[in-house]
Amino acid sequence: MRPPGGGHPRTRPDHLGGDKAYSSRRNRRYLRRRQIKHTIPEPKDQRANRRRRGSRGGRPAGFDKEMYKRRNEVERTINQLKHFRAVATRYDKRAYVFTGTVTVASIRLWLKP
């Protein structure tokens, strides 16, 4: 997607939300280097190892619970949309037709009692 004023498209997100599987030091270091804020929970074993090392273990990773809850809501909504075959398989050739299919599926989920 191109910015309204022209120029190059964005290549870096403002914020990234991830599972515990993405909490490695390497991933966090990469995100910091690219100046991408992130919300990734720290697994219990990593937390225990950091505490065991004491002051050499480093600071606890910052974690925003509210942001993580929002990420979970989005993930569950996408999973609900995938129950619609046309959305899950993407038979539509053109993007605007697929967008319409996702819109109709979203409306059906919203109106569902």
In order along the chain (113 residues), what is the average pLDDT of each group of 10 residues? 69 86 89 90 87 81 85 89 89 89 93 83
Domain boundaries, the chain: 9-63
Q: Decide: 47 and 60 in contact? Cβ < 8 Å.
A: yes
pLDDT of residue 108: 94
pLDDT of residue 6: 73
pLDDT of residue 2: 57
Pick from 75, 49, 71: nearest CA to 61: 49
